Amino acid sequence: MTRVTIDPITRIEGHLRIDVDVDGGRVKKAWSSGQMWRGVELILLGRDPRDAWAITQRICGVCTTVHAVTSVRAVENALQMEVPLNAQYIRNIIILAHSIHDFIVHFYHLSALDWVDVTSALKADPDKTASLAESLSNWSLNNKHEMRKTHERLKNFVNGGQLGIFTNGYWGHPAMKLSPEVNLLAVAHYLQALEVQRHANKIVSILGGKSPHIQNVAVGGVANPLATDSQAVLTVERLLAVKEHIDALNDFIKNVYMVDVAAVGAFYADWTKYGAGVTNYLSVPDIPLDTKGTKFAFPGGYIANKDLGSYKAIKTFGDEFWTKGVEEGVKHSWYDYNKGGPLHPFKGETKPNYTDFKDDGKYSWLKSPTFYGKPAQVGPLARVLNMLAADYAPAKKYATGTLDLVSTLAHTKVGLDAMHSTIGRHAARMISCAINVDLLGDQWNLLMGNIAKGDMATFNKPVFPKGEVMGVGFHEAPRGALSHWVVIDDGKIKNYQCVVPSTWNACPRNDKDEPGPYEASLLDNPIADPEKPLEVLRTIHSFDPCIACAIHLTDKENDTAVTVKAV
Ligand code: NFE
Ligand code: MG
């Protein structure tokens, strides 16, 4: 048995350590450990609930908008508030654009190099690459000129004695399977995607004031005044600029991202056999279409043990099937609870107890969330499978289209079962991206239509009652189901707990010693060379880890997080 420790895992957000025991070229046991201790939840205690969104979105600089939106939803849920339609649409456009940014950056910049050998691309014939690219889609930058230019840039990186942004990949690894031409094509799209992702960020910035960390959210709505006749506020002219960015994203997603993921899936069809892990899938509905949060553009729910027939829907923001199911345990986490656990988030505690890394004891700063006592996988795969179980037509359209394209390219029939895998998570993220860019166009139309009717409202004023109220806000964030749980007493925050997508997926073993989704997904993965565990990265990266989000707790014994000296 060989022990392999990867610490830190790179091309992710935050500090993640993965340990695997390898025997006979396969992973036999795995541990996922969050190694970073930081603080947000307890900073909120005693504060005005209207400020919580601005503070909680500092949990992360990658999924910046998501904690802001989830936080105001939690407070609005506690106050049983309605949110004006324009505010829902503006928030929806922001979170959809943000998710698209996240998906594109994840595939090209954070994970493609696990599958694409950059040095092999140097051996490619750029003209042949262009012919291949043009046979796959009619994206305007698939031409000979672009491929020659990319080849030239790569040569310059290498001739200059450095690979620049491509330094430190597992180049030449035996698990790399793409031809030089396909590798060059992927590198070309990697570089183009750096430009394309800006369109998504511009949408977020126009509506949110800036990115990362939007400025326009408020409990009760948004702080964007609308007008058709003033340059000082959000005008039709600004909204028309948003539409141009939506169209540019749509072009890239449909003609490049979808094709590239299908091609990687087809060339690495072997990887549809690895990485399933925990197959209880949890997602929440999102993109609210009414003022109360009872109607959503896409469904969410729970599937047990990969059986789509077991689907149970989560229907509204306050749905008890959701609120009653969530708990967090700390048996293998560096915390203690006062009276054992696991605990419901409204009663959540944060008492650190660091023990060093103990294989059979405590080994992570992440808690272990469960849904009705079971570990659950969240994220794009959970989202898309729940959508399919709910008969959501756009998911059916894009999932069928993707599996058909993969089958054609792989010359073998690839069915839905292949989705429960490392590659399946990439496919699901791409399907989710295609759905979201269509929804982005829809939300833009709804906003313009509502303004055209003369409705300019964007905000309802919150009123805090005497005594205690509690609420939960959820959001289907890029990495999956995110929830904030707030208890408010006399208008001040009494308890605040965030249960975050990467906590669900990257958690250590739970109170029953069942492995979390990352850990379970690594079991039986092949490892060609324990010195270069590329295969571990493939599976872990397919979840898109964010450990900053996953560990957002603070030390309540010692509430001074940092001392700054003015000299
Ligand atoms: Ni920091 Fe996040 C998303 C949230 S994480 S990236 O998506 O919430 O798990
Ligand atoms: Mg938490």
Question: For position 123, which CATH number holds?
Answer: 1.10.645.10
Predicted local distance difference test score (pLDDT) of residue 232: 66
CB-CB contact of 103 with 430 (8 Å): yes
Residue 520 falls inside a structural domain: no
Active site residue 498: no
| Separation CA 267–CA 346 (nearest Å) | 47
pLDDT tens digits for 174-199? 999 999 999 999 999 999 999 999 99
Nearest to 41 by CA among 340, 328, 355, 402: 328
**pLDDT at residue 564 tops 60:** no
Condensed to tens digits (0 to 9), the pLDDT of residues 238-262 reads: 889 999 999 999 999 999 999 999 9
Does the active-site annotation cover 502?
Answer: yes
Active site residue 549: yes
6 C-alpha to ligand 2 centroid (Å): 25
DSSP summary character for residue 516: P
Secondary structure class of 542 (helix, strand, coil): coil
Measure the CA–CA gap between 83 and 158, rounded to whole angstroms. 55
Which ligand lies nearest the alpha carbon of 366?
Answer: 2
- Domain that includes residue 17, residue range: 2-514+527-550
More confident residue, 351 or 389: 389
- Within a domain: 521: no
Average pLDDT over residues 187-212: 96
Is the pLDDT at 562 greater than 50, yes or no?
no
Comparing 168-177, 324-333, 502-511, the range with the smallest average pLDDT is 168-177
- Closest ligand 1 atom to residue 102 Cα is 7
Contact 484, 498 (CB under 8 A): yes
Instruction: Please check whether residue 113 lies inside any domain of the structure.
Output: yes
The verdict on residue 419 lying in a domain is yes
Percent of the chain with pLDDT over 70: 96
Task: Say how far apart CA 439 and CA 279 lie, in whole Å.
Answer: 27
Domain assignment of residue 196, yes or no: yes
Label residue 161 left, alpha or beta by phi (over 0 means left) and psi (-120 to 50 means alpha): left
Is residue 558 in a domain? no
Q: Cβ(376) to ligand 1 under 6 A? A: no
Mutate to test the pocket of ligand 1, among 67, 500, 543, 544 (most ligand atoms within 8 A of CB): 500
User: Can you give the length of the chain in residues?
Assistant: 567
Residues paired with residue 218 on neighbouring β-strands, in sequence order: 221
Amino acid of residue 109: H
Per-residue pLDDT of 43-54, as tens digits, reads 899 999 999 999
Kindly give the number of the ligand 1 atom that is closest to the alpha carbon of 475.
8
Burial of 20: CB neighbours in 10 Å, binned 0-12, 13-18, 19+: buried
User: Are the beta carbons of 491 and 479 closer than 8 angstroms?
Assistant: no
The identity of residue 361, as a single letter, is G
531 is catalytic: no
Closest to 147 measured CA to CA, from 112, 121, 116, 171: 121
**CA 59 – ligand 1 centroid, Å:** 9
- Whether the model clears a pTM of 0.75, i.e. scores above it, the answer is yes
Residue 563 has pLDDT above 50, yes or no: no
Three-state secondary structure call for residue 115: coil
Structure token pair of residue 94: 């922001």
SS3 166: helix
Tell me which ligand sits closest to the C-alpha of residue 345: 2
284 CB less than 6 Å from ligand 1?
Answer: no
**433 is a catalytic site residue:** no
Q: CA 312: distance to chain centroid? A: 22
What is the pLDDT at residue 4?
93
Q: What is the rounded average pLDDT of the residues 369-398?
A: 98
CA distance 322 to 300: 10
Instruction: With residue 20 as reference, give the H or E element that holds it.
Output: strand 16-23
75 C-alpha to center of ligand 2: Å? 17
Q: How far apart are CA 65 and CA 332, in angstroms?
A: 30
| pLDDT tier at 566, thresholds 50, 70, 90 | very low
**Pocket of ligand 1, candidates 64, 482, 541, 544: which has the most ligand atoms within 8 Å of its Cβ, to mutate?**
482
Per-residue confidence band for 168, with pLDDT thresholds at 50, 70 and 90: confident
Find, among 552, 547, 514, 560, the residue nearest to 16 by Cα.
Answer: 547
Say what the pLDDT of residue 274 is: 97
The active-site residue out of 15, 17, 67, 509 is 67
Indicate whether 563 belongs to any domain. no
- Asked if residue 25 has pLDDT above 60, the reply is yes
Is there a domain that residue 140 lies in? yes
Going from the Cα of 212 to the center of ligand 1, the distance in angstroms, rounded, reads 13
**Full 3-state SS string of 407-476:** HHHHCCCCCHHHHCCHHHHHHHHHHHHHHHHHHHHHHHHHHHHHHHCCCCCCECCCCCCCCEEEEEEEEE
pLDDT of residue 351: 84
Q: What is the pLDDT of residues 433-444, one digit of tens each?
A: 999 999 999 999
Per-residue confidence (pLDDT) for residue 553, from 0 to 100: 62
Number of domains present in the structure of the chain = 1
pLDDT in tens, 54-75: 999 999 988 889 999 999 999 9
Q: What is the pLDDT of residue 560?
A: 40
- Biggest CA-to-CA distance, the chain: 72
482 close to ligand 1 (CB < 6 Angstrom): yes
502 lines ligand 1 (CB under 6 A): yes
Q: Which position among 17, 63, 181, 429 bears the catalytic label? A: 63
* Active-site residue, selected from the candidate residues 479, 484, 509, 541: 479
